[in-house]
Amino acid sequence: MIYTKVTLLQSLTKIFDSGHHSIKKEKRLMIMSNIPFGYLLPVLFLAWCTYFVVAPSHWHRALRSFGTYFEVINEVPFFALFWIISATIWAFIEGDLAHPVGKIAFGLALLVVGGLVVIIYWGLQSAAAVSRTLDDGLGEGWQTFLPAETKKQSQKKFTAKALLGPFFNRRFDVQRKTNIRYGDAGERNLLDVYRSRTHSNGGPVLIHLHGGSFVNGRKNSQSLPLLYELASRGWVCISANYRLGSEGTFPNHLIDVKKVIAWVREHGEEYGADPSVLFLAGNSSGAHIAAMAALTPNDPRFQPGFEDIDTIITAVICQGGYYGSIATKIVAPSSPMAYIDKNAPLFFVVHGDRDRIVPVEQARGFVNRLREQTNSPVVYIELPHATHTFDLFHSLRSQAVFHGILAFTAWVRSNPERCSRDASRK
């Protein structure tokens, strides 16, 4: 009888404990289900991205190898600001801010907004930096050669396009003809042509080379705002693939770019271009190749089979460039530093002072060497608080740099002796 009572008591205790644990589990699940993850997660993501950009460079930052992806927020702060404000308004409507976690997320969101305001303020400094360095590089009175519209644009701190961020890179008034073959290396020897739908003739040429550490990247992925903007103004813009990885060991990619120049000399007029006014541009490793091509005109070592083609160019635009040595198949130096001489063409060099991929000191060294040894003007713009990806989207910086490029190229073209491919080599 006593045993039966004990057993019954134990059974009742187990049932009670089981019910008690079940209730606690249900409460935990209820608490977890009430946490506003839809608000918390985007706030945490934007907070990390903002911290990665705003925090002083000497502060510890984890996941440095993925830093380039986080740094993108430095160029799209308006998009991030719209995102976090919209998320906060929606969280308020849904009652998520009443939850303790929602309150913490709201406090963090306020810090993010403050950081984004700082980033916007930094971006607004870009136009002044561009204008100041153009004055230093081109000399007093250089703006007298500019059209009135170009002069006005070069002084703008803010344009509506900076709000568009990663959107609307393309323009309806620009026609893009894709995958035109210029060599025999398969898809790595294809180029795209951007030109106005009006099909006007006599447009200057810009050849753009993508970055990617000489191992990746493609022709239609970088500096699209620049290509479409110039093409809409009557330029003929070319974005080209070139050999990468083991196939792109120096000097193969340099040979490819010279083949692109040769293609422009032969076919440019078919697309409304003036092949005698040819600018080279590149980002990161693409800037390295552009500089090498500009500094080695008509060098038979890098023009096998087309030695007689004129590969002299008018000027070079380098953005976030790498200028050191790379792997090579031949004895010749693989750094543009080694080819600088008094006959170097005009250079327009842009670099962010917070570039973690290619330190700004390398750009400074390259520019100092150019200024010491060349007879041509060198414009060097060091963008304040800019990182390696400042040219990917419409942004305060990319628009300021674009206006600087527009002013620089207009100045070059307004001086006939600067555009003469032979005069620059005398």
What DSSP designation does 201 have?
S
By the 8 A CB rule, do 126 and 401 touch?
yes
Q: Is 355 a catalytic residue?
A: yes
Which of 213, 406, 257 lies closest to 317 in space, CA to CA? 406
By the 8 A CB rule, do 292 and 333 touch?
no
Q: What are phi and psi of 104, to 5 degrees?
A: -65, -45
Largest CA-CA distance found in the chain, in angstroms, rounded: 118
- Which ranges of 35-139 would DSSP assign to H, the alpha helix? 37-54, 67-71, 77-94, 100-124, 126-138
Distance CA 364, CA 380 (A): 8
By the 8 A CB rule, do 351 and 129 touch?
no
Q: What are phi and psi of 280, to 5 degrees?
A: -105, 140
Which of 189, 43, 177 lies closest to 116 in space, CA to CA? 43
Question: What kind and span of H or E run contains 180?
Answer: strand 174-181
| Active-site position among 96, 192, 274, 355 | 355
Distance CA 175, CA 231 (A): 8
Instruction: Specify the 3-state DSSP secondary structure of 330.
Output: coil
By the 8 A CB rule, do 411 and 377 touch?
no
| Active-site position among 208, 388, 394, 403 | 388
Of the chain, the end-to-end C-alpha distance in Å amounts to 118
Distance CA 260, CA 255 (A): 9
Which of 86, 8, 99 lies closest to 43 in space, CA to CA? 86
- Paired tokens of 192: 């795209």
Q: Is 353 a catalytic residue?
A: no
| Polymer length in residues for the chain | 426
By the 8 A CB rule, do 241 and 272 touch?
no
| Active-site position among 131, 196, 284, 285 | 284
Q: Is 310 a catalytic residue?
A: no
Q: What are phi and psi of 390, to 5 degrees?
A: -70, -10
Strands 203-209 and 190-196: unpaired
Residues recognised as catalytic: 284, 355, 388
